Amino acid sequence: MFYPIKNNVHFVGKIDWDLQKFHGSEYSTHHGTSFNAYLIQEKKTVLIDSVWRPHAKEFVKNLKAHIDLNSIDYIIANHAEPDHSGALPELLKEIPNVPIYCTANATKSLKGHYHADWNFKTVKTGDKLDIGNGKHLVFVEMTMIHWPDSMLTYLTGDNILFSNDAFGQHYASELLFNDLVDPAELQIEALKYYANILTPFNMLIDKKLKEILSLGLPLDIIAPSHGIIWRKDPLQIVHQYAQWAQAFQTDQITVIYDTMYEGTRHQAEHIAEGIHSASPLTTIKVFNMAKSDKNDVISEVFKSKGVVLGSSTINRSYLSSMAAILDEMKGLGFKNKKGASFGCYGWSGESPQHLADDLVKAGFLVSHAPLKAQWDPDDVALEAAVDFGKQLAIDWAPSDPSGT
Ligand code: FEO
């Protein structure tokens, strides 16, 4: 795989159509992913990042098919996470003395992962590396976006920003560039990536984007380490991130529930009906959490102004699929979103209150008493669910009529 990017820059990574789960089994990758590595061949030959360990041998074999490995002058490790550094042990068996440029934190992390003392060259924001023919690499630390060691690398002359995880998506395509792929698919995967991985770092991202834009660097290409490369209007994804970093929400309410004997499901559907009747233009999404993909649901929570969680009561609490999504929501630290809860029960009925309490712990603004229905909800209980939905729609109406 030696796909041209621009002038003397080539893609030498791995497009992984087969991957269905990333970060172990934490992140669903419906469109596969790619592990993007890049080779720059100026007076100096530079490798930017590598691939995940299962692809290491293939990665090195592919490099050997196109270059003499001994011609590599520098390796840039923008990030130490094993999906990008995983092929370094295999590569460095062949070229053990090649300098690896990375942040101080990456040195610690790479040593921790691979227990090897390679030829590390520590860099910090503003440091430059001359690669000949009038071109330089400029490094910018991206601390906690999203690991302590993260950084990005800018190639002068070609005006390419190798952004590592930032601006990436889990999206396999041989077409490589944003002007060649389905824009709707690309948007879904870019948003899912941000929502599920970068949400906790909103404030840092906002600050860092301003810092990058203030540098005024000419930008022809943003080349992330996963997925599609931004060639057409590359700043579009930077501006999109600036929006997402501001506690993003749209006029959407997402209802998420789990149910034992369909009673809570019927409540969920009637709540959705109530929301729609009071606010016909509000986007409503309803998920049975036990049957839904956690990461896709998080994308919907990310877009929502409010979430309504429901569960039957079991063991004086809520069902386990709701515990999983609540924990995820808590960890991601969503801001400025509203929450409400509901559920039906047989005799004790603690679930809706526990859901409300845990929504508050997850940072959601809860101001409505939970809706409860005993046994299977009858017509009166279902009408109460419709009214509950109507009230939420009214109380959660955006003050900005654009809905954003
Ligand atoms: Fe794609 Fe943070 O690794």
The verdict on whether 23 is a catalytic residue reads yes
- Other Cβ atoms less than 10 A from the Cβ of 241: the count is 21
How many angstroms separate the alpha carbon of residue 23 from the centre of ligand 1? Answer: 9
Q: How far is CA 103 from CA 99, 109, 110, 118, 148, in A?
A: 13, 10, 10, 14, 9
Ligand 1: does its nearest atom lie under 6 Å from the Cβ of 42?
Answer: no
In a domain, 401, yes or no: no
> Could you give the CA distance from residue 136 to residue 131 in angstroms, rounded to a whole number?
5
CB 2 within 8 A of CB 37: no
Domains identified in the chain, total number: 2
Concerning whether 226 is annotated as a catalytic residue, the answer is yes
79 and 189, same domain (yes or no): yes
Q: Do residues 292 and 379 both lie within one domain?
A: yes
Answer whether 379's CB lies under 8 Å from 240's CB: no
Q: Indicate if 328 and 382 belong to the same structural domain.
A: yes
Nearest CA to ligand 1 atom 1: 165
Ligand 1 proximity of 165 Cβ (cutoff 6 Å): yes
pLDDT in tens, 231-283: 999 999 999 999 999 999 999 999 999 999 999 999 999 999 999 999 999 99
Chain centre to alpha carbon of residue 188: 11
Q: How many angstroms separate the alpha carbon of residue 218 from the centre of ligand 1?
A: 25
pLDDT of residue 216: 85
Whether 404 is covered by a domain: the verdict is no
From 244, 266, 294, give the residue that closes a domain.
Answer: 244
Q: What is the CA radius of gyration of the chain?
A: 24
Residue type, 330: K
Q: Is 358 in the pocket of ligand 1 (CB under 6 A)?
A: no
CB 90 within 8 A of CB 57: yes
Both tokens assigned to 246: 């501001």
Q: Residue 288's domain is classified under what CATH number?
A: 3.40.50.360
Return all residues near 204 (Cβ < 8 A) that are at least 6 apart. Answer: 143, 144, 145
The residue from 244, 269, 304 where one domain ends is: 244
Out of 244, 266, 300, pick the residue that ends a domain: 244
Rounded Cα–Cα distance for residues 6 and 158 (Å): 7
Q: In this structure, are 115 and 62 located in the same domain?
A: yes
Q: What is the pLDDT of residue 400?
A: 55
β-pair partners for 334:
none
- Shared-domain flag, residues 235 and 264: no
Least Cα distance to 357 among 345, 349, 374, 369 occurs for 369
d(CA 264, CA 376) in angstroms, rounded, equals: 8
Please state, in angstroms and rounded to a whole number, the distance separating the CA atoms of residues 293 and 297.
Answer: 6
Centroid of ligand 1 to alpha carbon of 295 (angstroms): 16
pLDDT value of position 403:
44
Q: Which atom of ligand 1 is nearest to the CA of 225?
A: 1
The DSSP element (H or E) to which 258 belongs, if any, is strand 252-258
* Residue in 193, 241, 257, 318 annotated catalytic: 193
pLDDT tier at 404, thresholds 50, 70, 90 = very low
- Shared domain for 60 and 138, answered yes or no, is yes
- Domain boundaries, position 9: 3-244
Residue 336 contacts residue 247 (beta carbons within 8 Å)? yes
Q: Residues 236, 378: one domain?
A: no
Indicate the pTM of the whole model. Answer: 0.96
**More confident of the two residues 239 and 213:** 239
φ/ψ of residue 48, rounded to 5 = -105, 110
- Same-domain pairing of 342 and 323: yes
Do 270 and 379 fall within a single domain?
yes
> Please, which pLDDT band fits residue 1 given cuts at 50, 70 and 90?
confident
Q: What is the pLDDT of residues 52-72, one digit of tens each?
A: 999 999 999 999 999 999 999
